[in-house]
Structure 1
């Protein structure tokens, strides 16, 4: 007898009247205490209804819709907090901690409030997994992961999203569409489908920031699309945007699975080029098929802006892999097909980076950065690194135009510092270090042109994932074509992969053969260079 044990580690075989097998999820039986005894700080905060309402409202107004974390639309879920069931208390504590994170940079008291709520949530999480492993617990873990990544605590962000992935598997959320489920009357519910795609979206955000493998690989996912939970009459724009973003990243994961396969670099260049073209065509076809509600304009609501930002991020991530591939084949005898493909790669990633900065500027002008979504920091960093790469070219036109976009992006990044200081400071430091290493400091605004020295902690840490300086100083990884700022002689070499913040994830590479491609100024044709609003 063979069957797939992919319903989670709680699946058991039982008898039913119609067949020999059916699946049930075995729940661990445990007696939950009649109430939870919160710390004194939490009890004190809970008596301040205005504080709780403010934190919940900040969460609901600024990120809940974009990520579809919960179905809540008002702070009424806080009635009886913190004397609720343990899973609900955990979820609501995570919400309050995240709401406080948006206010912490402007109110030092909120920083402490947020940390107190976060610590309380961390104390609850394992009891939740043991006694009440519910959808609320997955939601709370994803919210804590989002919060941790936003404030620069990447290790906690990765831990929480990994735990959420494990619980998704235990509750068999990743296989809701399997034939076995349909055959055994395990009908997926709308909350289950929505919770899975909410987790998947945060997982994708985490891996693009940290440069790691996803907590739950796409090949193990067999879930009805988020669209199936929408009511055509009542669905709002945020839900529609989220549904299309989820589909975008699932499509993206399929392509990346081929690109990052061990066999990819063994493929002949012609095969890699075919994969590149087919991948871009697949994404472009998807983008063109979007509903009219998601078309971009200068008055676009936030959900539309975020959908377009995610699309351009997907392009940059995919193209960066081909940068490495084409650069590693950088030889004097490059043929016409490879040269044309190199131009396609460069044009695609440059266009995506420029559009990302333009969208971030539009977001700033329309909504301000006072309560900016923290994912904008990551989008900006990715675009900035592309333009920094282009600034290493010996082509004067390309260098000048990329420098203008780079300065606009750095100006926007600096403005975000007020809301997300820790994350932004890490990003700016990475850009300055790479500009210094690549000889492109002259392309940065004067405020960021000073030399950067490694801190004592960075000198002492030998781990590559803890110190980007250790990796920057690795000659095997830093041979890169750069413009040194003094003459037009490039130093052609191989691509070097860098990434974001403390994890030094592999995201974007420097394209070492830019000097061999003539007349690169056309890369920016038709793109808006007006930086007056920056």
Structure 2
């Protein structure tokens, strides 16, 4: 199944070739932003093998840990595109494949009897608990039943001494601090001037008797969010 999936993916490569530099850049963004938020992939194990929708189609019949990881990421990606129902289906697919592989089972007593390395055992745990979190996110967000009952889980919790989830984000700007400060100051002045010149019907009122229109409330939320984001580079 994996060979068929790789062959199909190879046909796609003839149509869309992603430069190695872009691949590395996207991976770094994933390790620094997505993986710390939703820890699904064990970085070391992932980097040893190194593709997703077309592979998932073929590998669902004979899934591997990588297949479960791909389904989790696709579920989150599809949900972020506004397709919650389809994302939920991918999350359920990931959960069932994880159960099929026994990722929810504690293997501590079996490590000495199996050819699994400690890294492989840790990769199984990372994948399971990441899959568990994705399932709970969809259950809470969409009001759907969870696919991971606690009574069936014996897999131990993740280690806290690893450094994969603590990859620091380092801004890579060629601007000097003085140049960045000047740009931010100018934008801050323009934003505040615009905010101070708002017409009365867009201003917030201190009266609790006057109902606030949703679009006015959202406007002020967006304004303050922009201020926070504007000054964030100076906070890092």
TM-score by length of 2: 0.60
Residue by residue over 1:319-357, the C-alpha shift from the partner in whole angstroms, topping out at 9 and shown as x without a partner, is xxxxxxxxxxxxxxxxxxxxxxxxxxxxxxxxxxxxxxx
* Offset, 1:200: 0.9
* Offset, 1:66: 2.3
In structure 1, C-alpha distance between the alignment counterparts of 2:213 and 2:2, rounded to whole Å:
63
Does residue 139 in structure 1 map to residue 66 in structure 2? no
For the residue of structure 2 that corresponds to 1:89, the secondary structure is: coil
Does residue 52 in structure 1 map to residue 14 in structure 2? no
Cα pair distance change 1:442/1:144, threshold 3 Å: same
Counterpart in 1 of 2:51? 89
In structure 1, C-alpha distance between the alignment counterparts of 2:79 and 2:91, rounded to whole Å:
10
* Offset, 1:139: 0.6
Counterpart in 2 of 1:238? 165
For the residue of structure 1 that corresponds to 2:86, the secondary structure is: helix
In structure 1, C-alpha distance between the alignment counterparts of 2:148 and 2:218, rounded to whole Å:
38
8 Å contact from structure 1 (residues 177, 223) kept in 2: yes
* Offset, 1:157: 0.9
Counterpart in 2 of 1:70? 41
Cα pair distance change 1:54/1:218, threshold 3 Å: same
Task: Provide structure 2 residue ranges, at least 5 long, that are not aligned to the other structure.
Answer: 170-205, 229-236
* Offset, 1:50: 3.2
Cα pair distance change 1:61/1:192, threshold 3 Å: same
Counterpart in 2 of 1:284? none
Cα pair distance change 1:167/1:144, threshold 3 Å: same
Counterpart in 2 of 1:113? none
For the residue of structure 1 that corresponds to 2:125, the secondary structure is: helix
Q: Kindly report which structure 2 residues correspond to 1:336-347, keeping only aligned pairs within 5 A, or say none.
A: none
Higher relative contact order (CA 8 A, sep 6+): 2
TM-score by length of 1: 0.29
Counterpart in 2 of 1:442? 212
Q: Kindly report which structure 2 residues correspond to 1:146-225, keeping only aligned pairs within 5 A, or say none.
A: 146-176=76-106, 185=113, 189-225=121-157
8 Å contact from structure 2 (residues 75, 88) kept in 1: yes
Match for residue 57 of structure 2 among 117, 126, 136? 126
Residue by residue over 1:232-289, the C-alpha shift from the partner in whole angstroms, topping out at 9 and shown as x without a partner, is xxx23836xxxxxxxxxxxxxxxxxxxxxxxxxxxxxxxxxxxxxxxxxxxxxxxxxx
- Give the number of equivalent residue pairs: 182
